[in-house]
Amino acid sequence: MPILHPDERLLVATHNPGKAREIRDLLGPYVGSVITSGELGLAEPEETGRTFEENAVLKARSASAESGMVALADDSGLSVSALNGDPGIYSARWAGPEKDFTRAMEKIHRLLGDCEDRSASFICVLALAWPDGPVRTFEGRVNGTIVWPPCGEKGFGYDPVFVPDGYSRTFAEMEPADKHRISHRAKAFEKLLAVLSAPAS
C-alpha cells in the first residue's frame, strides 16, 4: 500500500475551520504541508452515507478524485445514549445552514429533559484516499457526559457540553493540547499515524 511521500502535500477534505485547526495540530509534526478542500475551493459533497465511515470515505474519495491528491477526510459527531445515538452522523446538520451550535446544544438539552442518563460519546472516522483508488479508515471514540449549561470558549461544535470521562471540565474549557491527548480525533490519528509511519510495502 503506497503511503504519503514526504514531499507530497496532503489535502484535508474539510470545510470546517475548527476541525481543520485540530487536524493541522495533530498532523503538524508528521506531515510537511497540509491544505484543506475549503482553501482549494473544492465542492462539498452531500453526506449521503448511513455511517461515519461511509461519509468519511465519500468525502475523501470526492476530494481526492477532484484534486488528484492524497486526501484525508474526517467524519465525526456526538452520539448521545439516551437519544438513541443522535445527533450522530447528523451532528453538523442539527446546527442548520447557519451552523448554529448553540441551537444544536439546546436541542440536546431539551430532548434530554429530566433523563438521568447523560452519557455520550464523540466518534471520529478518518478516511485516507489515494487518487488511484485505495481508501483506509481509522476510528477513534471518547466517552463522556453531557452537561448543562455549556461551559468554555475553546474548541468548536459541541465541545461546551461534553465532559470526557475522568475529567471535570468540558472540552471547550481545556487547552487544545489537553483535548488532543484524549479526543476521538486524536485516537483516530494515532491509528492513522501508525500506518503513515510504517515502511511502505
Total number of residues that touch ligand ITT (CB under 6 A): 22
What's the one-letter identity of residue 197? S
Nearest to 73, CA basis, from 120, 138, 151, 28:
138
String marking each residue 18-57 x if it binds ligand ITT according to CB under 6 A: -x---------------------------x----------
Q: Which is nearer to ligand ITT, 136 or 184 (CB)?
A: 184
How far, in whole angstroms, is CA 92 from its chain's centroid? Answer: 11
Q: Which is nearer to ligand ITT, 31 or 60 (CB)?
A: 60
Asked if 76 touches ligand ITT (CB under 6 A), the answer is: yes
Asked if 15 touches ligand ITT (CB under 6 A), the answer is: yes
Catalytic residue (choose from 7, 74, 75, 132): 75
Nearest to 140, CA basis, from 55, 53, 50, 11:
53
Closest-by-Cβ residue to ligand ITT is 157
C-alpha cell at 139: 476510528
| 132 is a catalytic site residue | no
Q: What's the CA gap between 2 and 64, in Å, rounded?
A: 15
Nearest to 74, CA basis, from 41, 100, 38:
38
Q: Judged by CB under 6 A, which stretch of 15-23, 62-70, 128-136, 190-198 contacts ligand ITT?
A: 15-23
Asked if 61 touches ligand ITT (CB under 6 A), the answer is: no
Q: What's the CA gap between 81 and 68, in Å, rounded?
A: 39
3-state secondary structure of 145: strand
C-alpha cell at 52: 461515519
Least CB distance to ligand ITT at residue 122 (A) = 6
The contact set with ligand ITT (CB under 6 A) reads 14-16, 19, 47, 59, 74-77, 91-92, 101, 122, 155-159, 171, 183, 185
